[in-house]
């Protein structure tokens, strides 16, 4: 290659580099900072007008929402994939409460208190506050409160059952009288929902999942065995259909919504759906907390959704601004009014407009005071998986309750020991 | 004769009923599906409207799968044809050894590779690129492709190449101008199989793509299942199945012969 | 020179097949999980000891084998019947061949959800039909005794055409004069099937079994979408277990160990299969 052509190439290369740089500079000046959030599809849909308003008010910032699948496990797999692959396309994740410790341990989240202040959770109801702050940092700001509720048919019974025995008696009597096909439907599929259902019954019978010290699983306690046996009895006595072993929330709602069941365990979202025009049970549904036996107390599994900031995000400051804006009181009020979402801020439960629009709000408030947290551990996914599997064996009649719970306990403790978290005994 | 007619009927029902049921489901409203006496009302195109107006709209996933399928097919053939040709020119021992390894790789349940492939995607920044997805797809399709094309090369009469050699064509020219046209049918069969594989692949697309607008069809459809809290969206899902199946149905009907040839060639040779 | 032509393909093959297996070998001797902050720490043979004691691994092994065994056996049987049907010459057999190919061409993931709906309890069509007939609904997908059979059915539905086509290629390779000679000697068609067709079909059947068995042992999409492994873990396969260990429990060291455990199992089965073929071939000679 001659000198001239070398020079020509060099000039061309310089020109190209210059162009690229200029392009980069221009891009920097004009393009707004983009913050991308991953949300389950229904939340993405619900917040669409809010996001639009946010983008109008913040010209230098563009919030984009990516719709994920709704099933908790499917969206968790998706979020984990994106984080494992590095260079995450998401700055913000709308997360289930149980994921947080795992994500923190994996180093995927950024603490929020330096960006949002120490008192960012100040106005939040106790039932949505837990599970966001641990290891000395704030990791998540809840957007929507969620807790397990007992739905009952006001046209079939005067008052909802308050104890497990009462529930069986009421539901059984209604079935025998031919007034309803099934007594009680819940989530019995081998998935996270089954752990949520069980935790409520477990507390209702006075047991607990983890010991107070948090290093031992106590699922073989007499209370836990009684709780598992009760779920099994519901099926054995025909109060709950056998198909419940493959029921998630939509199937339970499908059955209850069609008027086929007297009672249902579900989350608050079901209320608005059951009140829609054309619903066969419209105006015939009440909401209350789960039943409890003598030694226990009514409990509602805490299942809130909240925002966390991904540590790979190049724009933590802007992302924090988005979190603050999307969890603001007016946004929560809007979501509650339009869609019946349960707010997380105490003040909103007394808002006269909201109470008028949603007559069950006081019941929800009461349920929020009875919330219980699933174990706050990076190993939660394993612990829950073990419990689901054993419970599924119990309710499908593969194993006796006592034996199943015994196995759940020993397998869980093995997992804790192997990781160095559990007590060595 | 009568027995055969019965057998054909059974085969038809077995193959088509589940597909027809999907078609039926896709045209029914949700309440018509769960009502005990379905009656004549309750027909709708809403399910199609819903998935086509989704965000992103459904045709986007079809497009993604097509892009990935075409890119993988092209890359596979680009690598497999020279490899198959080169393999035929090796001493018998080397050839037998490599063919054995290729057969082992061809039957290997590739789902086992997903974790390491995910790590490779992170290492080389290949995640969330549709074209990058064709790298593992080509790699996974190569064993079968090389075996099929190798069989095709073996079938060509050796005199052909010898006369081309006498005319002074070099290796590349011989491959490009003499042999390639002759193995075109085998290349087409192989390409179709690779395309079908890439179109249908699940575990790797599941772990390599985390952006909604880049999902390939199987993942997108699997996610529709959990897209609604309110109802089990069987109607929308069935509509997605129908739309997602149409291109494949067309492909199978049009290219039935080369697909079958590709499938059976490996066994015959 | 010609070896050079094979190089690009072989390099990609090494990257896609060899590198992962070597990586798993290395990972299986490390703790690399959410507890170690996703950093690999050498832990000797702890993963392998855990694998040997892991009841779930063995239960899944049994379930995977059970699924693969029954699926492949049914596919071979139905595939043979279908191949014999397609081998006869009659009008419309090309059309039938196209139609039978459809289930094979569709993505597994797509039909997996379809089956979930078809076997839905109580609203799915099969239970609807039972109801019309006055029978109680059957809990197809909520009983450990039946759910795995639904998974087998879905797999058989999809892959029988593949087996049938391989066997059909085998049938077409048998010279017809063999049958004519046999008939002249007074053999019945049933005898011809047993004495000529089946033995000559054996190599094709072997290839079909090899392909299908390996794929069935790695079954993933179908189970993940259709059942998620439940109820009572009765449909969890080894591939699903390793996927959950990695993507849900963030335990990469153990996930790699499970996959290698499965790989060893696969090698063992292939060895048995090869040995079996040799014995069969030897018996005939």
Which of A73, A245, A419 has its CB closest to that of C231? Answer: A245
Containing structural domain, residue C159: 49-170+200-284
Residues in chain C with pLDDT values less than 70 = 1, 282-285
Q: What is the DSSP letter of A245?
A: G
- The number of domains in chain C is 1
How much is the ipTM here? 0.90
Judge whether C7 lies within some domain: no
Extract the tokens encoding A249.
Answer: 């929330």
Which chains are within 8 Å of B by 3+ CB pairs? A, C
Q: Is the CB of residue A78 less than 8 Å away from at least one CB of chain C? A: no
Confidence (pLDDT) at B194: 95
Query: Chain C contacts of B106, Cβ < 8 Å?
Result: 211
User: How many whole angstroms from its chain centre is CA A420?
Assistant: 28
* Subunit contact A254:B212, Cβ cutoff 8 A: no
Chain A, window 287-326: residues with a beta carbon less than 8 angstroms from a chain B beta carbon:
none
Burial of A19 (0-12, 13-18, 19+ CB in 10 A): exposed
Nearest to C37 among A105, A190, A385 (CB): A105
What average pLDDT does this structure show over A216-224?
95
Cα gap A363→A154, rounded to integer Å:
15
Architecture of domain B45-268: Orthogonal Bundle (1.10)
Q: How confident is the model at residue B230 (pLDDT cuts 50, 70, 90)?
A: low
CATH architecture, domain defined by A28-146+303-372: 3-Layer(aba) Sandwich (3.40)
> How much is the CA Rg of chain A, to the nearest whole Å?
25
List the end-to-end C-alpha distance of chain A, in Å, as a whole number.
77
Q: What is the pLDDT of residue A424?
A: 40
Query: Tokens representing B218?
Result: 């199987």
Name which of B33, B142, B199 is nearest C13 (Cβ-Cβ). B142
Give the separation between CA A100 and CA B133, rounded to whole angstroms: 30
C-beta atoms of A77 and B206 within 8 A: yes
Pick from A396, A397, A415, A421 the residue to mutate for testing the C interface (most C CBs within 10 Å).
Answer: A396
Rounded to whole angstroms, the Cα distance separating A182 from A177 reads 12
Nearest to C142 among A80, A245, A385 (CB): A245
φ, ψ of residue A327 in degrees (nearest 5)? -105, 10
Across the beta sheet with A33-40, the strand order is: A61-68, A33-40, A92-96, A305-309, A141-144
Q: Compute, in degrees rounded to 10, the torsion defined by CA atoms A43, A47, A52, A54.
A: -110
Mean pLDDT over residues A16-44, rounded?
68
Percentage with pLDDT > 70 across chain A: 92
Question: Contacts of residue A68 in chain B, CB cutoff 8 Å?
Answer: 212, 223
pLDDT tens digits along A113-130: 999 998 899 989 988 898
The residue behind tokens 């179109």 is: B199
Nearest-CB residue to B55 (from A67, A82, A90) = A67
Q: Is A382 on the interface with C (CB under 8 A)?
A: yes
Q: Does B115 touch chain A (CB under 8 A)?
A: no
* Residue C5 lies inside a defined structural domain of this protein: no
Task: Say which DSSP state B175 is in.
Answer: I
State the Cα–Cα distance between residues C155 and C164, nearest whole angstrom.
14
Residue that the structure tokens 């174990």 belong to: A375
Q: Smallest Cα–Cα separation from B133: which of B33, B203, B192?
A: B203
**Rounded to an integer, what distance in angstroms lies between the CA atom of residue A401 and that of residue A397?**
9
Query: How large is the average pLDDT for residues A220-248?
Result: 95
Residue A337 Cα, gap to closest chain C Cα (Å) = 33
Distance (Å) from the alpha carbon of C123 to chain B's nearest alpha carbon = 5
Identify all chain B residues contacting C12, using CB atoms and an 8 Å cutoff. 79, 135, 138-139, 142
The closest CB to that of B210, out of A41, A78, A251, belongs to: A78
Nearest to B118 among A41, A78, A85 (CB): A85
- The total number of residues shown for chain C amounts to 285
Residues of A (5-44) whose Cβ lies below 8 Å from B: 41-42
Q: Which CATH superfamily is domain A149-301+374-419 in?
A: Periplasmic binding protein-like II (3.40.190.10)
Q: pLDDT grade, residue A27 (50/70/90)?
A: very low
Q: Angle, to 10 degrees, between the axis of helix B217-224 and the axis of helix B234-254?
A: 160
Least CB–CB distance from B34: residue in A41, A88, A254:
A254
Average pLDDT over residues A118-144: 91
Looking at residue B167, its pLDDT comes to: 84
In the prediction, which pLDDT does B231 show?
59
Model pLDDT, residue A380: 94
A3 has a pLDDT exceeding 70: no
Note whether A266 and B248 are within 8 A (CB).
Answer: no
Shortest alpha-carbon distance between residue A88 and chain C (Å): 16
Q: Pick the more confident residue, A56 or A45.
A: A56
pLDDT value, residue C20:
96
The answer to whether residue A420 scores a pLDDT higher than 70 is no
- d(C-alpha B113, C-alpha B115), whole Å: 6
Which residues of chain A from 400 to 419 reach within 8 Å of chain C, CB to CB? 418-419
- pLDDT higher than threshold 70 for residue A196: yes
Q: Which of C251, C264, C260 is nearest to C21 (CA)?
A: C260
User: Which residue does chain C place closest to B205, by CA atoms?
Assistant: C221
Sequence spans of domains, chain A = 28-146+303-372, 149-301+374-419
Measured in whole angstroms, the distance separating CA C163 from the mean position of its chain's CA atoms is 11
Using alpha carbons only, what angle is made at residue C273 by residues C267 and C278, rounded to the nearest 5 degrees?
125
**How many Å apart are CA B55 and CA A401, to the nearest integer?**
45
Lowest mean pLDDT among A104-108, A381-385, B38-42, C153-157: B38-42
pLDDT at A33 over 70: yes
In chain A, the residue whose alpha carbon lies closest to the alpha carbon of B118 is A85
Q: A82 — contact with chain C (CB < 8 Å)?
A: no
Instruction: Say yes or no for a CB contact (<8 Å) between B210 and A89.
Output: yes
pLDDT score at A317: 94
What does the longest C-alpha to C-alpha distance in chain B come to? 79
Residue A315 has pLDDT above 50, yes or no: yes
Residue C155, domain CATH: 1.10.3720.10
Residue B268 pLDDT more than 60? no
Q: pLDDT, tens digit, for every residue of C183-198?
A: 888 888 888 888 888 8
Considering only CA atoms, which of A317, B112, A211 is closest in space to residue C241?
B112
What residues of C are in contact with residue A398 (Cβ under 8 Å)?
Answer: 144, 232, 234
Nearest chain C CA: its distance from B214 CA (Å): 17
Mean pLDDT of A277-298: 92
Which positions ≥6 away from A164 have C-beta within 8 Å?
A201, A204, A205, A230, A291, A292, A293
Residue A264: pLDDT above 90? Answer: yes
For residue A152, what is the enclosing H or E element? Answer: strand A149-153
Helix, strand or coil, per DSSP, at residue A63 = strand
Residues of A in contact with B132 (CB under 8 A): none
Check for a shared fold between A28-146+303-372 and A149-301+374-419: yes
CA distance C4 to chain A (A): 29
- Closest CA–CA distance from residue B50 to any residue of chain C (Å): 18
């Amino acid at each position: 290659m001659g000198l001239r052509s070398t020079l020509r190439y060099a000039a061309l290369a310089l020109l190209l580099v210059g162009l690229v740089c200029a392009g980069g500079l221009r891009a920097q000046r004009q393009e707004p900072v983009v913050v991308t959030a991953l949300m389950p599809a229904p939340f993405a849909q619900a917040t669409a007008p809010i996001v639009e308003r946010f983008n109008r008010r913040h010209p230098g910032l563009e919030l984009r929402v990516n719709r994920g699948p709704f099933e908790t496990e499917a969206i968790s797999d998706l979020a984990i994939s994106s984080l494992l692959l590095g260079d995450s396309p998401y700055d913000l994740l709308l997360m289930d409460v149980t994921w947080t410790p795992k994500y923190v341990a994996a180093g995927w989240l950024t603490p929020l208190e330096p960006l949002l202040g120490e008192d960012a959770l100040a106005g939040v109801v106790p039932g949505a506050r837990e599970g966001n702050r641990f290891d000395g940092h704030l990791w998540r700001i809840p957007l929507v409160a969620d807790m397990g509720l007992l739905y009952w048919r006001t046209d079939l019974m005067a008052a909802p059952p308050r104890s497990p025995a009462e529930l069986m008696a009421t539901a059984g009597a209604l079935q025998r009288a031919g007034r309803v096909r099934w007594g009680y439907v819940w989530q019995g599929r081998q998935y996270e929902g089954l752990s949520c259902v069980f935790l409520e019954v477990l507390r209702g019978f006075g047991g607990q999942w983890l010991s107070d010290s948090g290093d031992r699983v106590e699922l073989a306690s007499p209370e836990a065995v009684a709780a598992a046996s009760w779920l099994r009895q519901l099926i054995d006595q025909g109060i709950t259909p056998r198909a419940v072993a493959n029921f998630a929330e939509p199937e339970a709602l499908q059955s209850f919504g069609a008027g086929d069941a007297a009672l249902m365990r579900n989350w608050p979202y079901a209320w608005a759906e059951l009140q829609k025009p054309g619903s066969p049970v419209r105006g015939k549904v009440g909401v209350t907390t789960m039943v409890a036996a003598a030694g226990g107390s009514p409990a509602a599994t805490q299942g809130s959704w909240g925002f966390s900031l991904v540590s790979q995000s190049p724009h933590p400051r802007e992302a924090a601004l988005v979190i603050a804006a999307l969890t603001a009181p007016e946004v929560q009020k809007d979501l509650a009014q339009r869609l019946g979402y349960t707010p997380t801020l105490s003040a909103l439960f007394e808002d006269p407009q909201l109470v008028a629009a949603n007559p069950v709000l006081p019941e929800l408030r009461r349920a929020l005071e009875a919330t219980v947290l699933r174990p706050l551990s990076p190993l939660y996914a394993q612990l829950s998986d073990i419990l689901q599997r054993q419970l599924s064996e119990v309710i499908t009649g593969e194993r006796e309750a006592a034996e199943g719970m015994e196995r759940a306990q020993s397998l869980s403790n093995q997992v804790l020991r192997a990781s160095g978290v559990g007590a060595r005994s | 004769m009568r027995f055969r007619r019965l057998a054909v009927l059974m085969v038809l029902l077995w193959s088509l009923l589940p597909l027809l049921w999907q078609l039926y489901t896709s045209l029914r409203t949700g309440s018509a599906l769960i009502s005990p006496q379905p009656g004549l009302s309750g027909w709708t195109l809403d399910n199609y409207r819903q998935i086509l107006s989704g965000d992103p709209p459904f045709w986007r996933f079809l497009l993604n799968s097509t892009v990935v399928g075409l890119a993988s097919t092209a890359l596979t053939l680009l690598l497999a044809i020279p490899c198959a040709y080169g393999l035929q020119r090796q001493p018998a021992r080397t050839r037998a050894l490599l063919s054995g390894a290729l057969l082992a790789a061809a039957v290997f349940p590739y789902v086992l590779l997903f974790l390491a492939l995910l790590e490779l995607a992170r290492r080389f920044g290949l995640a969330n690129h549709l074209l990058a997805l064709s790298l593992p797809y080509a790699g996974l399709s190569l064993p079968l492709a090389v075996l099929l094309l190798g069989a095709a090369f073996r079938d060509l009469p050796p005199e052909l190449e010898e006369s081309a050699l006498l005319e002074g064509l070099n290796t590349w020219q011989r491959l490009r101008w003499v042999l390639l046209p002759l193995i075109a049918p085998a290349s087409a069969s192989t390409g179709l199989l690779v395309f079908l594989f890439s179109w249908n692949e699940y575990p790797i697309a599941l772990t390599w793509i985390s952006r909604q607008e880049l999902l390939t069809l199987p993942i997108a459809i699997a996610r529709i299942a959990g897209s609604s809290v309110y109802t089990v969206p069987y109607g929308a899902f069935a509509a997605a199945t129908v739309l997602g199946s149409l291109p494949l149905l067309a492909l199978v009907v049009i290219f039935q012969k080369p697909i079958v040839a590709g499938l059976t060639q490996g066994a015959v040779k | 020179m010609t070896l050079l032509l094979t190089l690009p393909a072989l390099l990609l093959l090494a990257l896609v097949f060899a590198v992962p297996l070597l990586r798993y070998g290395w990972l299986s001797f490390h703790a690399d999980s959410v507890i170690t902050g996703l950093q690999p720490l050498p832990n000797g043979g702890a993963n392998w000891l855990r694998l040997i004691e892991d009841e779930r691994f063995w239960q899944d092994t049994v379930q995977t084998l059970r699924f693969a065994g029954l699926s492949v056996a049914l596919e071979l049987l139905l595939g043979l019947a279908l191949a014999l049907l397609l081998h006869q010459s009659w009008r419309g057999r090309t059309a039938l061949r196209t139609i039978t190919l459809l289930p094979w061409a569709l993505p597994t993931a797509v039909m997996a959800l379809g089956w979930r709906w078809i076997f839905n309890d109580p609203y799915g069509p099969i239970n609807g039909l039972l109801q019309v007939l006055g029978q109680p609904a059957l809990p197809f997908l909520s009983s450990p005794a039946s759910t795995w059979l639904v998974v087998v059915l879905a797999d058989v539905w999809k892959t029988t055409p593949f087996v049938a086509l391989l066997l059909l290629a085998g049938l077409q390779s048998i010279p017809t004069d063999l049958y004519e000679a046999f008939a002249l000697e007074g053999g019945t068609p049933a005898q011809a099937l047993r004495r000529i067709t089946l033995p000559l079909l054996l190599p094709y059947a072997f290839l079909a079994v090899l392909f299908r068995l390996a794929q069935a042992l790695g079954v993933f999409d179908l189970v993940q979408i259709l059942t998620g492994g439940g109820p009572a873990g009765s449909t969890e396969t080894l591939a699903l277990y390793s996927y959950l260990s990695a993507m849900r429990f963030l335990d990469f060291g153990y996930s790699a160990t499970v996959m290698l455990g499965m790989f060893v199992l696969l090698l063992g089965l292939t060895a048995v299969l090869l040995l079996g073929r040799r014995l069969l071939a030897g018996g005939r000679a």
